[in-house]
Structure 1
Amino acid sequence: MNNPKPHIIVEDGVQYSLGKLKGNQILYDFDKMLIYLDVKGKLLFGKKFKIYNEDRDVLFKLCNYFIEDKANCQKLDIDISKGILLTGPVGCGKTSLIRLLKYLVPHRKAYSVIPTRNIVFGFNHIGYKTIEDYGDTQFFCFDDLGVEPIGRHYGKDCNVMGEILLSRYDLFIEHKVKTHCTTNLNARELEERYGNRVRSRMRQLFNLVAFDSKSRDKRV
């Protein structure tokens, strides 16, 4: 680790400890991580942002995944080598959390969060180069998978995100490049949207982390 104190993060001149350093390992404290996430969330998204107690189970899984706590991930049936597919109803906080959690581990390679709609709009404008651009070894999170329209370039329709997911699967198999996604859709809806071939690849690409289907809309 290049940072001698990766367990301490400074925001606006205030130090937040996420745990203790033991040798070259960080012994993380979940409650301290939640305190930091609440502070960072307010800085990123405004004062109305908060960490909800009802989301602790989801956050526990996500935090353990991002800090790569192998023992806890094994208990939670999470494979650290795969990406995250974060599912849940509209407004439950998926996008905010996936944008936020990378700040827990500033010493690791960050991912870019890209709305799927924007990707399809790019395809409509410049065509298949868009799919190639997301088939490289960069680290991406595709936000709101399944709400994007079908792509159309010069009169030809294309299921853009389906093609990109197939490319990301190849990258994962060949180079262990991770991909994350957020979606409002369930497994059946994803299969209807992208087909059985993509859905089967998604099982190998992602750990499924799901909010409760009755999670309330926090934007109301």
Structure 2
Amino acid sequence: MQKMVESLRARGLWGTAKKAWTVYVYRATHDMQFRRDFNDIKSEPYDEGTPYHVHAITAVDDPAVTQLRQDFPKAAPSLVGYVQRGCVVHTLSKEGAIVGFLVTALVDFYDTNHFRRWFRLAPDEGYCFGFFVAPEARKGPGAKILMMEVFRWLKTHRGITHIHAMCDTENRPLVRFYKMNKFLETGQAVDLFKIFGFHWSRMTAFRGHPPRKTTKR
């Protein structure tokens, strides 16, 4: 087995084989839960005076959907589907192009979705997921502007006071981003499994972060 792995690595095929395995055969993740209140969210727009613009898509006939399909053709169908099911998709734009998005689910969506097995939402709570910012926009304040403007919009237009989020423990940059922006760990986590296209999950206690991978020299 070790010789086969070394052979694949030598030919540059190990990464492709590993990705195909996790996509089509088996994948397991340990997602930690976060919670954040909106006590410090101000009423003024966070994108004002910046090169960024945050827009809320609440209907599939929003003109921004056309731009979303153009800039993110692979992600757009799923995002539009979430809007159809009652979620809100916020987009982050810079110089006329969408460079990021964040999806928010409210209590009505959770009552009819399998996510409710993980935690229950109160009428004044939301759950954010699908957080993505293009690599070229990650060095600046774009990610934080998107998140804070989403929170301001939810507080102003939906009366939301708290937000929930989950993150794979191996996604260290996002875990660090959440902690830097006042998200608190709840001590709970969800184990997610996928085998040959079948999904299931179980609630569990947060087991901590996996050890950092070290590079042999």
TM-score range, shorter chain: under 0.3
TM-score (structure 1 length as normaliser): 0.26
TM-score (structure 2 length as normaliser): 0.27
Bigger Rg, which one? 2
Q: Which structure has greater helix proportion?
A: 1
Higher RCO (C-alpha 8 Å, min separation 6): 2
Q: Which structure has greater strand proportion?
A: 2
